Structures are given as structure tokens and as C-alpha cells.
Amino acid sequence: MLFALVLIPLAFAGVAFAVPSQRWRPWLLPLGGGAHLGLYLAALRQSNLSALDGWLVLDPLGRLVLGLISVLFLLSSLYAPAWLALRPGRSNRVFCANLLIILSMITLITVAHHLGLMWVAIEATTLAMAPLIYFNRSGRSLEATWKYLLIGSVGIALSLMGSFFLAYSAVGSRLESSLLFEDLIRDAPQLSRPWLHAAFVLLLVGYGTKMGLAPMHTWKPDAYGEAPGLIGTLLAGGLTSGAFLAILRFFQICSAAGEAAFARPMMVALGLISMAVAGVFMARQRDFKRLLAYSSVEHMGILVVGVGIGGTAIFGALLHLLNNGLTKGALFLSAANIHRAYGSKLAAEVTGALQKVPISAALFLTAFFISEFTIVRAAIFNGQYAVAGLFLLMLVVVFVGMGATVLPLVQGEATPSRPDALLTRETFFNVAPPLAFMSLVLLLGLYIPPFVSSLLKDAVATIELR
């Protein structure tokens, strides 16, 4: 089952690369996504799934993140055929194949219990994503791609060094060195503290770069701003979730070693800095796709603040992980519709979107979250009033900043479209995927299904190790 979850998307990628038809190739994306989701649902019915002597394991935390990734990819892939049909002169062979490779590698991140294998999977997603960011073949997209690769390479190098330090923390205590997650959890109380602390700092910064935490976030505005909306969805909801999972793995090791008190203040500080930086840049941002990049920086900060606070805030952080991934799907796909309808992504040139693309504009406007308040409540309950106050202040700044750009964009008289605008009217495949994303967000806001609640609680129990 675990092999199938990783290999089936790779098989579809091979077929996509071999199929000669530009028209029919994009439909392999939802077929591959549907097969992957079916395998995931079958895997949920089985317990203790493992392979390769513990190198691959589907644990509660992996089940939660893998479910988000599978749903995110399937709904996003339904958007792809109609979008690619508007670009008939642009080959989609590499685009479709690399999307499926990314699904395979993010799946490998969620099931990899060997930290070296997880590192390889994260690096593979970086390499597979680069051609997709460059899909529009403009000078700005080329610059965004190089910035993504260069800054991401620094982060991944720091992560590799942190993994080496973690392995050496066992040697320093005269234990057998291992990068298997279960071995590290078992031996955590005996690991060398200086090496463990140094490893966590490097891993937090390294994988925090992949998440886009400030101040390592500088690749995000360019990549999100220049990549197609479909790719922005997978960047903001998929790759960042995989990097966050990696950080959680290392936090679990620190927690098992009794060093959670060392890790938590750094996570809270880095999260609040990310929210502050995002608020400052969102307040004066007039490119609405770059605005979504800073929104992602803010929400990555929210995730690590929740884990740093601990207790019920971890439940809020994991719920927010689901909400953020699904809402980013609605935001990026509806933003892509608005961009194509006007031929511009500058707020000064886009007003009255409710008149021109009413469904997309309404979805873009109504995106909201509930799990931030679970984190605030936990901070107050734990007596961390300063953290709760700063958290609320950052949220206010962010909401004001977003409102200054988003409200004029959707209201008022519709500005004329540019001559190169591709979308003349909304169709079913343009609006159905973002509408499905928003419906799921509303469902989680009003009612958390029992199986989702169970996944969340099981994942929280694995993080809060003592």
C-alpha cells in the first residue's frame, strides 16, 4: 500500500510524458489524483502500515497531512484541463508530468521515517517545482525560479547539516547512530544535548526556509506572484505542509528528549516575526498574487506559534493546517481567474471583479479561517498573555492590510480588460474547484467530521510526547 501511494503517481507521470496529445494529457492529472485519493482512503482502513524495515511508515501525523495533500491535488487537478486549454501553443508535457512527480514526492515526505529519505523527497519536490514556476517563460518568472532554487538550496543544505548533527548526537552519547525516526524517539533521552540543540536550530531554519517563515521567506513573493495559480495552490498548501511536517518530526524528537522547553520559545518567536513581517508588507502590497504570498508567510507563522504554545494550541495549529491548505486552493484558483479575466494582477488595474467574474470574486473575498482563534484561546488558557496579545495584534494588522487591497479589487465599477486577457467568462471547470475548496473550509468551520477529528487528535497525541 505504501509503495503504491508513492509509485502510482510516478506511473501516471510516465504516461503523461509519453502521451502525445496536448488535449488529453491534462486529464491524466485528475485520474492520477483520484487513484491516489482512493489508495489513501484504503490505507486509512489499515493500521500499522510500514515497509522497508521502518523506512516507510504511515503514522497518525502522516495520515493527516497525506489526506490534505491528496484532496488538494485532486481538486486542483480538475482545474488544470480548462486552464491549459487556454494555452494551446504552450507544451504541457513537462507541466503535467512534474505535477504528478510532485504528488509522489510529497507523499514520500509524509510516509518517510528515515530522515535522510525525507530530505531527499523534499529536495526532489524543489527540483520538480522549478520548471512549473517558469511555465509562463517571462523574465520575471525566470528570476522567480532562480530565487526559489537558490534560497531553497540554502535551506535544504542547512537541513542536511542539521540531520548530520542529529545523527552525531547519538554518537556523542556512545549510542549507535541512526536516522530512523523510531530509533531517535527511543534514544532521545540519551542524546547529546548540545548536538541535539544545534540540530534543531539548523533544521528549524532549513525547513523553515521551505515553509517560507520570515526572514527566510524572500523567495515566496516572486514565486507565488509569477507561478500559475494552480502551482501557487500546490506551493502554498502542499509543499509548505510537507516542510511543516518535517519540522514537527524534529520537534517530536526534542519533546521525547525532554527538550520541548528549548524548542518552543524559538518557534513562537519565529512565528510572531513571520506574522509581523507579513503584516508590514501586506499593508502596502498592490499585486494581489504577491499579497497571497505574504498571507502564506503569515499562516506559516501561525502554525509554528500554535505548536510552540503547546496544549490545545497544537490541535488548533493542525486544524489550521487543513484550513490553510484548502483555503489557499480557493484563493489561488479564484485569483488566477481574476488575473486571466483582466490580464493584470495589479490592484490599480483590477476593480469591480464582482461584475466581471462574480463567483471567483466572491470566493476570493470570503476566504476566512477559524483555527487562529483556537490558538489564541490556548495561549490565554496557558497564561501566555503576551503571546496572545501579539498574536491578535498581528492578525489585526494583516486583516487591515488585506482589506485595503481586496475590497477595492472586488467592488466598484469593473475596469476594462487588457487585450491579452484570456478568460472572457467563467465556466464550470473554472469555478467548481475553488468552490469545492471553499465548501470544505466552511464545513470545517461549522462542523468537524468525526473521522477528521479523530485524525487530528491522534496526530496531536504523537506530537505531545513526554
- Summarize pLDDT for 106-144 with one digit per residue, the tens: 999 999 999 999 999 999 999 999 999 999 888 999 999
What pLDDT, on the 0 to 100 scale, is given for residue 368?
46
What pLDDT, on the 0 to 100 scale, is given for residue 369?
47
Burial of 50 (0-12, 13-18, 19+ CB in 10 A): middle
What pLDDT, on the 0 to 100 scale, is given for residue 402?
67
As a whole number, the mean pLDDT across the chain is: 86
Nearest to 325 by CA among 302, 355, 291: 302
And the C-alpha cell for 76?
Answer: 486542483
Backbone angles phi, psi at 422, to 5 degrees: -100, -25
How many domains does the chain contain in total? 1
Q: How far is CA 458 from CA 41, 314, 384, 462, 464, in A?
A: 17, 12, 25, 7, 10
For the residues of 379-415, what is the DSSP string, one character each? HHHTT-HHHHHHHHHHHHHHHHHHHHHHHHHHSSSPP
What pLDDT, on the 0 to 100 scale, is given for residue 141?
92
Burial of 385 (0-12, 13-18, 19+ CB in 10 A): exposed
Backbone angles phi, psi at 287, to 5 degrees: -100, 110
Amino acid, res. 165: F
And the C-alpha cell for 74?
Answer: 485532486
And the C-alpha cell for 134?
Answer: 517558469
How far apart are alpha carbons 329 and 251 in whole angstroms? 28
Q: What's the predicted TM-score (pTM) here? A: 0.91
What pLDDT, on the 0 to 100 scale, is given for residue 110?
95
Q: Which domain holds residue 50?
A: 2-463
And the C-alpha cell for 59?
Answer: 503514522
Nearest to 369 by CA among 435, 436, 306, 321: 321
Burial of 342 (0-12, 13-18, 19+ CB in 10 A): buried
Q: Which residues of the chain have pLDDT under 70?
A: 365-385, 387-388, 398-405, 407, 412-414, 417-424, 465-466
Residues in contact with 436: Cβ distance below 8 Å, sequence separation at least 6, in sequence order: 75
What pLDDT, on the 0 to 100 scale, is given for residue 102?
96
